[in-house]
Structure 1
Amino acid sequence: MTDANDDSPDENETESESTVRDVDTEPTEDHPEPAMTAERFRATLEDLGRPVATAGEVARTLDWTHAEASDALDELAGTGGIERTDVTDDPVVWYPAEFAAFVDREHVVVFPERREIVVEHPEQFTRAQLTQFAHLVDSSGEGAYIYEIREEDVWWSPQDHLDEFIGTIRDVLPERAPDLEEWITSQWDRARQFALTTHPDGYTVLEAANPSLMGNIARQQLDDEHLHAPITDTESWVVEGSESEIKRTLYDAGYPVQDQRDLERGAELDVELGLELREYQREWVEQFLDSGAGVLVGPPGSGKTIAALATLAEVGGETLVLAPSRELAGQWRDQLLAHTDLDPDQIGEYHGGEKSIRPVTIATYRTAGMDRHRKLFDERRWGLIVYDEVHHIPSKVFRRSADLQAKHRLGLSATPVREDNKESEIFTLIGPPIGTDWAKLFEAGFVAEPEVELRYVPWGSEIDREEYASAEGHERRQVAGTNSAKLDAIRSLLDDHADAKALVFVEWLDQGREYAEALGIPFISGETRHAERERLFDEFRRGERTRLIVSRVGDEGIDLPNAEVAIMASGLGGSRRQASQRAGRTMRPAGNSRVYVLATRGTREEDFVRQQLRHLAGKGVRLSEAEIDDPTDP
């Protein structure tokens, strides 16, 4: 990219031409200063046959020097007659000011073969419709969004009928796309070829749409560990306990399985919710009850837990809540007691600190998956299983809990994305995504949109810079993440927000300990004893403490509702999910929250953070950038 004045020669000029033209830049009586008017500029565009022009193109067309054209365009821009923009990998371009009136208009372009939809400046209606059938791939952060329609987007469609699905697409696209609609129809049919049902005698049956599918797909992909002898040409008796593995196997073969089993709900449980739901939360619950399974997807602070409590009350059966940690298990108990009429003796916790099974039981994934505890959970007929932070399900430690049987399955996650691309397993094992566009919640004021600022930090010393140059792989990332200049940057930000409650997130334990000692702020990590963690978090919630340094234990679900400032010392963690979760620590209705992301200038950390921020920008989060002065510069 050229500099702001576009003084470099145009790429089509030879060096000699540029040199000759730029020598005589001073006006004389024979060669007065060239004048540019809006009318003359538009005439130049007509000659060029383009809606925009570079200074080099204007110079060639009008037979001016490059410097003369650049100066004249600058002068005209000062009067408001034209405007300019910097284009990546190209010089500055100029265009008539009246074009700006069209810049913010919505523009939708469809690429049927790639099944991509590119939308510039989408309206709220368009984004809401797109979330029903497409996956956001990327956002430039400047109003351009790229969506992709994947197989699973059709398979998990919230619509009941194909006509409704295609109708939703037609509401968004500027014109019909027959090839795309044909592909969608094929995927819609493909998602309805296999189903798990319950035989009148009580065992599970795998049904296929035709004998060929049962013989050539199911019987080829599955073995005696999954299926007993065939019942008919299109039905097979399922080995008890293999249902989840059958779903995974056939899904990998390109055939999602409809789970239509008549599972027992277990004992009745009469629960009343003690608060009113927001409109979108009611929609979540209604959509879940229609399907019997699903994953609530919404930003931190949008009330997914409250929606889950409402679902529990509607289902009215014994419930198991699975959480990643004891802290979250304790928070679930607090929420149940605060917002329902359940008595304390109706709520049990089953983890390292306590082991009791009750009508509503809260357990950790790890404990529920252990062989010595598994029988207790298998024997219970759960009406509902709630999977908090459900993005963990594909991992080996947690996926065994997906085999537990329940009439209803409900997952909760702000960002069900995984860097190993296994998010499809989440919806295969638990249920289809149910969610609301983040930007819609921001605009309605239900969730405060944080302002995220990326701050580029110079190297703290030549020693740091040299260590980075000689490091490789993960070590190189750590050197950039722990750049010594970041400590001063954090100290400065905390001073700027002296009266705000602030969280500082770190990636490495040594880094957290160093900052804690230098700043006099407690550091909470996985090594911190449970009781000490709870004490510090409670003090922060109550306002008795306004500063905490937190490792990854603060990424998920920890209820820190009044954090006004979040500082990401080591970028945004290791994944897009962590980026959203850390930014989400400040997403609460109070508003005025700030998120600062520190990245060492000129390193791979800078590129990595930019990529993660695109994920947030695609969700409607406002982003900005700032540079910290290099103290070593003269």
Structure 2
Amino acid sequence: MDNGKACIVQRDRTVLLECRHPHFELAREKLSCYAELLKSPASFHTYRITPLSLWNAAALGWTATMVNDSLQSISRFDVPVNLLEDIQQLISRYGQLTLEVDTIVPQQLILKSSEPHILEEIMGYEDLLSLGMRQRSMTEVTLHQERRGRLKQELTRIGFPVLDLAGYHEGQPLVFSWREDFPGLRDYQKQAVKAFEGMPGSGGSGVVALPCGAGKTVVGMAVMEKLQCETLILTSNTTSVRQWIDEVLQKTTLTASEIGEYSGQKKEVKPVTVATYQILTHRRSKESEFQHVKLFNERSWGLIIYDEVHLLPAPVFRATADIQATRRLGLTATLVREDGCEQDVFSLVGPKRYDMPWRQLEERGWIAKVDCIEVRVAMPPEVKEQYLCAENKYKFRWAAENPAKLSMIKNIIKRHYDCTILIIGQYIDQLKMIATVIQAPLISGMMSQQERNDLYAAFRQGDIPILVVSKVANFAVDLPDASIAIEVSGSYGSRQEEAQRLGRILRPKSNGKRAYFYTLVTRDSKEEDYALRRQMFLIEQGYEYLIQNASDEEPVRNAGEQLQVEEDASLL
């Protein structure tokens, strides 16, 4: 045993990381490259090495030897031999199958493997046979090119990720350049674009993961500029559509006549078209067709950009399976999906091509320094009684809407009286009450897009110091000077949502100040359990949640100050 190392690596592919170990940060950074964080209690974090985490690592250049050496360097005990063998087997599967164009029959693709037993095993799967696969030789199988996406999806599902070397059509050319006043790409943005290009034959599809505020939109435009082709951009909401259009107009020589908005308000199809996921999945009834999915074939797109790719809805996955000959770039702050469809992103959009830890960007000044503070609030006796008597399915909401949180909100606002503050929540009745009491405007999905834009603009200009926002502000809202976020309620244990909400305050501040992310959680309730899950992604990125147990009489202190906490509520 070597106590100088921070981890215990177990046979079942789980890794325990000791939080108070002096080499915690180094081990955490290594594990995040090829393992997923499962649990994050105060003493040990639990990671799991999964097939998908290893295949994404392989796409970034990791070999089985590199993963095994990395584990040995952080493991307190010898790494179990069977685990090393598992890693070797799983990583070796990435690239064992390749997909190429059939030079004899142009409409066909060839699935190749140098290992005949692999193709023999694959041909035994009924779902794959339904794709019309035909065995040409011991090492080659043919199928129609229209089945390209479905094949990759099914192969990933059964544990055989395919390396797609079938290439892409160029799309309609579109000539443009950066504007003269564009300051240029940051070094990590250049690296992301180069990683997306990949090696000859292997690039052109995949995901770039960067935090909110790090310039994912600029990475998307840089890929567009590199390829010089007509582009379809899909994003999460109309606010984001307008932000993309503004960014493209401000930073490139493209003109308004070349950029179209395809949303609930407008239906413009131009050389660069920016659309919402919602409009693509709109239909008149459950039995009707998705009438706007045809947008994928409206022009000869050379590139499709999936902004906030972790939000990709099922109908868009299905459409994406049919356009595998078009280059595809996914942009996201987190590949975590609450529906468990990470494999579909991997197979249909592409593997992770570039990822940079949030804390590294923070250290270099590209995103704001943030302190994350969880304030645990007691329930008033009458609410506690209602909570205890409630059916299990209603307990979380009783805890989330704890009225005692209002005093904490006032406390935090008083503490940060000279800052711009976002109060973010899940339940409209709760948010209405808060907005009324603190006399701040509320933005929700019931408000028109123009009203939302007006309030966002007033907040940016400093005319409104505090905004109360529902989950409509979780994604793609550019509020660069917001420096305080107060989360009062959320979607159960959504790690994805926690990452996005922190992202609202990650842009570097013009005054150089730190940002603060407060999460209000009802003590001794189901909300505490969900809070632990929500924090996992950010903890994996290197953030620490400081826990403060507070009552109405206690002041909320900044993270850098001495906090009175219970013994079991130390740094997570």
Q: Normalised by the shorter chain, which TM-score bucket?
A: 0.7 to 0.9
- Encode CA deviations 1:408-452: one digit per residue, 9 max, x unaligned: 211111111123332222222211122011221122222123111
Q: Tell me, yes or no, if structure 1 residue 196 matches structure 2 residue 99.
A: yes
8 Å CA contact retained: 2:167, 2:325: no
Unaligned runs of 5+ in 1: 1-101
SS of 2:57's equivalent in the other structure is coil
- In 2: Cα distance, 1:328 partner to 1:406 partner: 26
Equivalent residue for 2:450, pick from 531, 534, 549: 531
Match in the other structure for 1:396 = 314
Instruction: State the AA in 2 paired with 1:402.
Output: T
Shift, 1:379, TM fit: 4.8
- Label 1:587 to 1:121 Cα distance change in 2 as closer, same or farther (>3 A): farther
Equivalent residue for 1:359, pick from 257, 266, 271: 271
- In 1: Cα distance, 2:522 partner to 2:166 partner: 53
Match in the other structure for 2:85 = 182
- Encode CA deviations 1:171-202: one digit per residue, 9 max, x unaligned: 56338856544333322332234333222343
- Label 1:626 to 1:211 Cα distance change in 2 as closer, same or farther (>3 A): closer
- In 1: Cα distance, 2:379 partner to 2:9 partner: 44
- In 1: Cα distance, 2:126 partner to 2:22 partner: 45
Equivalent residue for 2:183, pick from 271, 275, 282: 275
Shift, 1:384, TM fit: 1.3
- Label 1:606 to 1:334 Cα distance change in 2 as closer, same or farther (>3 A): same
Match in the other structure for 1:58 = none
Match in the other structure for 1:37 = none
Match in the other structure for 2:248 = 336
8 Å CA contact retained: 1:139, 1:615: no
SS of 2:535's equivalent in the other structure is helix
SS of 1:227's equivalent in the other structure is coil
- In 2: Cα distance, 1:401 partner to 1:609 partner: 35
SS of 1:372's equivalent in the other structure is coil
- In 1: Cα distance, 2:168 partner to 2:276 partner: 23
Q: Tell me, yes or no, if structure 1 residue 154 matches structure 2 residue 43.
A: no
Unaligned runs of 5+ in 2: 283-289, 555-572
Shift, 1:114, TM fit: 2.5
Which range is displaced more, 287-296 or 234-243?
234-243
CA RMSD across the alignment = 2.8
Match in the other structure for 1:619 = 541
Q: Give me the identity figure in percent.
A: 31
For 1:495-514, list aligned pairs within 5 A. 495-514=414-433
Which range is displaced more, 190-199 or 324-333?
190-199
- In 1: Cα distance, 2:268 partner to 2:189 partner: 31
For 1:185-584, list aligned pairs within 5 A. 185-200=88-103, 201-209=105-113, 210-218=115-123, 220-222=125-127, 226-227=131-132, 229-239=134-144, 241-273=146-178, 274-290=182-198, 291-369=203-281, 371-393=290-312, 395-403=313-321, 404-433=323-352, 434-460=354-380, 462-570=381-489, 574-584=493-503
* Superposition TM-score, scaled by structure 2 size: 0.84
- In 2: Cα distance, 1:141 partner to 1:444 partner: 28
- Which is higher, the Rg of structure 1 or of structure 2? 1
Which range is displaced more, 605-614 or 548-557?
605-614
8 Å CA contact retained: 1:568, 1:597: yes
- In 1: Cα distance, 2:213 partner to 2:317 partner: 26
Equivalent residue for 2:515, pick from 593, 599, 602: 593
- In 1: Cα distance, 2:106 partner to 2:162 partner: 19
- Label 1:455 to 1:126 Cα distance change in 2 as closer, same or farther (>3 A): closer
- Encode CA deviations 1:265-306: one digit per residue, 9 max, x unaligned: 112222323332222222111111113222111221122111
- In 2: Cα distance, 1:435 partner to 1:567 partner: 27
* Superposition TM-score, scaled by structure 1 size: 0.76
Match in the other structure for 1:606 = 528
- In 2: Cα distance, 1:531 partner to 1:406 partner: 37
- Label 1:115 to 1:150 Cα distance change in 2 as closer, same or farther (>3 A): same
- In 1: Cα distance, 2:479 partner to 2:133 partner: 51
Instruction: State the AA in 2 paired with 1:202.
Output: P
SS of 1:595's equivalent in the other structure is strand
- Label 1:235 to 1:548 Cα distance change in 2 as closer, same or farther (>3 A): same
Shift, 1:518, TM fit: 2.0
- In 1: Cα distance, 2:169 partner to 2:474 partner: 35
- In 1: Cα distance, 2:187 partner to 2:411 partner: 41
8 Å CA contact retained: 1:154, 1:188: yes
For 1:1-40, list aligned pairs within 5 A. none
8 Å CA contact retained: 1:297, 1:414: yes
For 1:24-63, list aligned pairs within 5 A. none
Q: Tell me, yes or no, if structure 1 residue 133 matches structure 2 residue 38.
A: no
SS of 1:197's equivalent in the other structure is strand
SS of 1:242's equivalent in the other structure is helix
Shift, 1:603, TM fit: 0.9
SS of 2:486's equivalent in the other structure is strand
The number of aligned residues is 526
- In 2: Cα distance, 1:255 partner to 1:168 partner: 19
- In 2: Cα distance, 1:366 partner to 1:264 partner: 27
- Label 1:364 to 1:604 Cα distance change in 2 as closer, same or farther (>3 A): same
- Encode CA deviations 1:186-245: one digit per residue, 9 max, x unaligned: 223322343332223432424142554444424523367522655445444434543322
- Encode CA deviations 1:509-540: one digit per residue, 9 max, x unaligned: 11122222222211111111111111111111
- Encode CA deviations 1:48-76: one digit per residue, 9 max, x unaligned: xxxxxxxxxxxxxxxxxxxxxxxxxxxxx
Shift, 1:161, TM fit: 6.7
8 Å CA contact retained: 2:173, 2:229: yes
Which range is displaced more, 422-431 or 557-566?
422-431
- Label 1:199 to 1:438 Cα distance change in 2 as closer, same or farther (>3 A): same
Shift, 1:492, TM fit: 2.2
Shift, 1:336, TM fit: 0.8
8 Å CA contact retained: 2:13, 2:83: no
- In 2: Cα distance, 1:186 partner to 1:224 partner: 25
- In 2: Cα distance, 1:631 partner to 1:133 partner: 45
- Label 1:203 to 1:115 Cα distance change in 2 as closer, same or farther (>3 A): farther
- In 2: Cα distance, 1:487 partner to 1:241 partner: 56
Instruction: State the AA in 2 paired with 1:400.
Output: R
- Label 1:414 to 1:113 Cα distance change in 2 as closer, same or farther (>3 A): same
- In 2: Cα distance, 1:303 partner to 1:122 partner: 31
- Label 1:221 to 1:258 Cα distance change in 2 as closer, same or farther (>3 A): farther
- In 2: Cα distance, 1:505 partner to 1:339 partner: 31
- Label 1:514 to 1:620 Cα distance change in 2 as closer, same or farther (>3 A): same
Shift, 1:615, TM fit: 3.4
Which range is displaced more, 351-360 or 127-136?
127-136
SS of 1:512's equivalent in the other structure is helix
Structure with the bigger RCO (C-alpha within 8 Å, sep 6+) is: 2
- In 1: Cα distance, 2:295 partner to 2:409 partner: 48
- Label 1:561 to 1:431 Cα distance change in 2 as closer, same or farther (>3 A): same
